[in-house]
Amino acid sequence: MSAINSSSVETKLDGHYHIIGMRRPFIVLLVFVSCAVGALLRTILKKSHIPIIIILSLIGVLLGVVGYFVKEFRVLIEYIAEIDPILFLHMFTPVIIFTAAFEMDFYIFRKSFWQIFLLSVPGFLLNCTLIGVLTYKINKYNWNWLISMLFGVIVGTTDPILSVASVKNIGLSKIVINLIKGESLFSDATTAIVFELFRDLVSDPHTEVAKEIIIKLVLKFIASTIFGFLSSRIVKYWLSHIVNDGLTEVILSFSMTYLIFFIAEWLGMSGVISLTVLGLLLDSVSFSPGVDEFIFRFWAMLTFLAHVMIFIIIGIVIAVKTFPYVTIRDLFFILTLYLALILIRGLVVLFLSPLLSRLGYGFNCRWGAVIVWSGMRATFTLNMALGISQSKDPGIAAMKNMILLYAGTASLMTLMINSTTVKKLVTTLGLCNITLPKRMAMYSAVQRIKEMEANTCSMLKLDRFVADANWTVTEEAIKIDYPYKFDMEEASQIVRTLKCPDCNTDISDETTPQQIADILEEARLRLLTAQIASYQKQYHTGMLNQDAAQTLIGAAESCVDIRGKFMNIHEVKTYWESKGLLVSFKKLLSDWVYNVKDEKSKPAWNEIVKPCHYIVFMDEFECTSYIITLLNLIPILIDFTHLDETYIKQLKICNYYFISLYILEASLKALAMGKAYIFHHWNQFELVIIIVGLIDIMIINIFKPLHPTYHMIKTIRVFRIIRLIRVLRLLKLVIPRLINLLEKQTNKQLTVRYDIAKGYVQGEEDTKYLIEQISGYETISKEINKMMENNKQDGMKELGLMQRDYPDIVTAVKTKQVVQTVLNTATETLKVLISSGIVDKNEEAKLQKMILQKKKNLGTLPSTIAPPTAEEVLHGISWLENEKKQIEFFQKRARISYYDYGTIIYEEHKMPEGIHLIISGMTKLCGSSPRYGVAKDVYERRNPKPVPYTDYLVSGAIIGELNCLTKQEMEYTVTCETTVQTCFISMNDLFEAFDEFLECPSLEYKIWFKLALDITIKAFKEKLAYQDWSYKTCIKLPNVYVMDVPTHSKWDIYDGTMDDVILVHGSVQDCKTPQPYFAPCILPKTCYQVQGTAAVTKLLIVRTTTTMKRKSSSRCSNACGRRQATIGNAEETDGSSRHSLNSDSVQGETAMTSTEGAARMV
């Protein structure tokens, strides 16, 4: 009722009844109307070059003018015009500063720090000084020197967001963008110090200027930097304990930004510096996987809204406070001021250019022109001008409105003129020219998109629902034009460097070395970008921890700006290699602990020594020793105070007493341990304490009858201090715990080290299949491919060495990664179930909570896990899993073999004796690339220049599976890189197992199935590198089976029941067109019938349906039998047999039955 009464009262004003309530918070309405106007302008002017903020400023000016004529509106406008500058600062500055710093590239900033420092500190001060001098000379209001310098500080600073807004997406170098943004950020911090100094001098002149400057420097720079660093550590620690809770992370980043800024400003530090450090040290990897994009969008939205409010408020303030005082002469001064700002900034950059060119990434006049022209005055200039206009100090009352007018209009002019023309300037200077290699890369990308569109249209034409669509209109609607325009010479160059569609070789033979170098450089940059994307993807999937991802991304970004620089494992190692201090310290402490911890000598039969041994090695004896040491600390501390002679005598007696106890303890230990006593470090240390204590007693008693001199007193005081070393006896309790902490930290570092190496190798594998698309030039593709293969092998070797040196840590890392992969698959499966409507929202929440809890529990897994034994490794083989009879069969026949470093297990071109399952150690494979069943003469014709094959295998890998299955000679030599332990299964035992375990799925079939999956995934990654096959493989696994295609037999494929057919071993020929296909290969969907042309040919079939009929084991034996050359019965037609792989055939059904077991096995 009270609310209703209040509302009814509000509608009655001045004796009149009003339908609309008059007393409403219209300031809230103005805020959201401003946001809506900003969104409207962003929509309308999206393709226009007109700055939105200029229009918003004019809207603010218009609102201020309207306030003069509308009485009801005037109160609101005047309220806004009197906004507190401190509130203005704390509302908008944190958003702009944090966003600018968060978007900066930390590694580029680190290298160009001194360039930024020169521009933002001495450059800014010189800029302000020159502006102040000019203002002092030409200003009509007779401002004094301090006011003129204050005005120079106000208009000298630049905005870190708006200065780069017009150039960051037009192809300008990241180095220049970071220079502009870094200069703005740090000049804003310099501005805060200088502005406060001159403002205080203007309002309250004093003589302690030097003292004030020193205090402000310490607080604003040193203290602020430390505070920002500590804040970043706190935020990172907090974020590390938040798992996949994007809302909490966004709220944390938002609240901590404002909180840190407020605390810094409240304590007299610089909130700008603190937030700059915070933003630089945080990056996308600091947040949970998948949250980074939302974080960037959130802060971009806040920045836009902040600029909307800033310029509307400033427009209102300028209109209300300055328009009544504007004259024609002021307009001329504003124009002069704008020109002076540009000219003076240019002179400063020119003056500093000799130094800038020798620092960081270098410097040139074109960069300088862009830096000069992109210096937009906005937030900080307007905030300081607003603070002056609101000041109540009588010393600046006469000129405060003029400062606001000049600063505000100068800022608007830089935004109106500079921001709209800087893009043209950059283009004119040639800083964003699209080079020929970039045009070629874009051409290749467009061609790739067109190819995929054509393939999609071909598939859709087979769809019964859309087959009758108007394909002419469709082809016109999906046509993508090339975005860059060529001149005739460039067009001819592009055409000359394209690949021949028939032989897939480069047509061009006219490419110059310089053009090749340019193409290689462009390919290098795109390759680094692809590697960074791979590392980010690995982090998002949980395969990389935060530290490893940041290290790899930083290493890649540090190579971007070094021409010709590629990543390699040897340089990546420099990011994780410890200087040895931590390890050495841990080793030193371990030596001490090992010499005192549970090391008991055998008691002698001597009746005197035997009780001593019993006493010394009692736990109570150690506890008594610690208690004595603690009690001894009390008189030592009391001795440092001024006491009477009586107390001094008692302290001497206490000293004698404790020394006697130490001697007694040492004597008992010596009797109990015998000769071993002196070799223990702790015992040696205790003897040193006793000796020093006895010397202390002797000196005191010798000096006592003598007349004390200065040197005697100093000596006694020194020994009194030395008594404190007795407390170090308590380190016996501390050191074991300290070693545990060091052990955990060392394990963490080693875990990160392994993650970095594994992430690097995975990145090389991910980008290897993109090389051809990235370079578009065969010669360069081969060169890059060779280099990346060498880098990958170096990375694999590093992984193997780490597994040899730290097997328990590597096992723990692998275990965590397996758990993470499985949980990722569970998450993807849940998403599919939700999208298909099988699971509702409530069920989703429960399941998601369970999965998230499992992911959180990953942090509780031990940092070290014992590596599996030989028996456990045997149980872990995919084709033996959960098959007790088969495992027992091989346990009885397998034998453990040991090999030294350099031993050759298998030699190239020799038949294998069996398979080796690596239990520990690392082996190197060196020889020719696997032929996968392709005839040797055919393979040599297709690859006249064979590429050397090198690989490294570690524990868990199997050597010789495929060669034993096909009874072919080894294609590579296997050498031990370390001491190696293997579980050996002879070929005779393997084939005996094949004959014994024929039930579906047979043992031989399961091995083929495992090998086929491995080859298929590699083929998919190579041919369809842009797709993610990890989850797709898990989805398709139940519908996958392996089929045998005997020589000269014809088989139907792609009959409507198959998604994909992959040739995993051997070779086939298209029966319609005599096109041969060689393994590994994804058979095209235009191929409907194939004929086997190799001795052993295997196809992996991916069915479209998930329904599978179960058949008897007698039928399954036809698909799984090793001895049978064909599957099922075949009819002979014209000397060749023809078979169908469709779902109605017995062969397909029996094969699917066998696949069920294999799928469960995998």
pLDDT (0 to 100) of residue 258: 92
pLDDT in tens, 550-566: 888 888 887 877 777 88
pLDDT (0 to 100) of residue 570: 79
pLDDT level of residue 12 (50, 70, 90 thresholds): very low
Q: Is the pLDDT of residue 773 over 60?
A: yes
pLDDT level of residue 1142 (50, 70, 90 thresholds): very low
- Rounded to whole angstroms, the Cα distance separating 847 from 826 reads 10
Mean pLDDT of 730-759: 80
- Rounded to whole angstroms, the Cα distance separating 1110 from 1131 reads 25
**Count of other CB atoms within 10 angstroms of residue 818:** 10
Lowest mean pLDDT among 92-101, 218-227, 536-545: 536-545
Residue 504 to residues 339, 501, 776, Cα–Cα distance (Å)? 59, 5, 11
Contacts of 333 (CB under 8 A, 6+ apart): 138, 139, 140, 406
Give buried/exposed letters for 245-281 (b at 16+ CB in 10 A, else e): ebeebbebbbebbbebbeebbeeebbbbbbbbbbbbb
pLDDT (0 to 100) of residue 263: 92
Burial of residue 349 (CB within 10 Å: 0-12, 13-18, 19+) is buried
Q: Is the pLDDT of residue 747 over 60?
A: yes
Q: For residue 1064, which of 965, 949, 923, 1152 has the smallest C-alpha distance?
A: 965
User: Which range has highest mean pLDDT (196-200, 245-249, 255-259, 1112-1116)?
Assistant: 255-259
pLDDT (0 to 100) of residue 227: 92
**Amino acid occupying residue 687:** L
* 701: alpha, beta or left? (left if phi > 0; alpha if psi -120 to 50): alpha
What is the DSSP-derived secondary structure letter of residue 675?
G
> To the nearest whole number, what is the mean pLDDT of the chain?
77
Joined tokens for residue 277 = 């450090």
SS3 735: helix
Q: For residue 1023, which of 1081, 1078, 1070 has the smallest C-alpha distance?
A: 1081
pLDDT in tens, 383-400: 888 877 776 665 555 577
Q: Is the pLDDT of residue 537 over 80?
A: yes
Joined tokens for residue 610 = 């035997």
SS3 597: coil
Alpha-carbon dihedral 286, 292, 298, 300, rounded to 10 degrees: 90
pLDDT in tens, 228-282: 999 998 998 888 888 777 888 889 989 999 999 999 988 888 888 899 899 888 8
pLDDT (0 to 100) of residue 257: 92
Lowest mean pLDDT among 399-408, 780-789, 1017-1026: 1017-1026
- Rounded to whole angstroms, the Cα distance separating 64 from 72 reads 13
Q: Is the pLDDT of residue 155 over 90?
A: no
Joined tokens for residue 659 = 């020394």
Can you list the alpha helix ranges (DSSP code H) found in 174-208? 174-203
pLDDT (0 to 100) of residue 23: 61
Q: Which CB contacts under 8 angstroms, 24+ apart, belong to 567-576?
A: 567/528, 567/531, 567/760, 567/791, 568/791, 568/794, 569/757, 569/760, 569/791, 569/794, 569/795, 569/798, 570/794, 572/756, 572/757, 572/760, 573/798, 575/551, 575/756, 576/551, 576/749, 576/752, 576/753, 576/756
DSSP string, 19-59: SS-S---HHHHHHHHHHHHHHHHHHHTTT--S-HHHHHHHH
Distance separating the N- and C-terminal Cα atoms of the chain:
71
Residue for token digits 């909490």? 248
Q: Is the pLDDT of residue 735 over 90?
A: no
- Rounded to whole angstroms, the Cα distance separating 461 from 1057 reads 18
- 762 or 19: which leads in pLDDT: 762
pLDDT (0 to 100) of residue 444: 72
H-helix or E-strand spanning residue 1161: helix 1146-1161
pTM summary value: 0.72
pLDDT level of residue 1120 (50, 70, 90 thresholds): very low
pLDDT (0 to 100) of residue 1121: 42
DSSP string, 888-938: HHHHHH-EEEEE-TT-EEE-TTS---EEEEEEES-EEEEEEPP-TT--HHH
- Rounded to whole angstroms, the Cα distance separating 869 from 862 reads 18
pLDDT level of residue 599 (50, 70, 90 thresholds): very low
pLDDT level of residue 805 (50, 70, 90 thresholds): confident
- 643 or 862: which leads in pLDDT: 862
Strand pairing category for 1136-1140 and 1049-1052: parallel
- Rounded to whole angstroms, the Cα distance separating 622 from 574 reads 45
pLDDT (0 to 100) of residue 711: 63
pLDDT (0 to 100) of residue 501: 39
pLDDT (0 to 100) of residue 159: 83
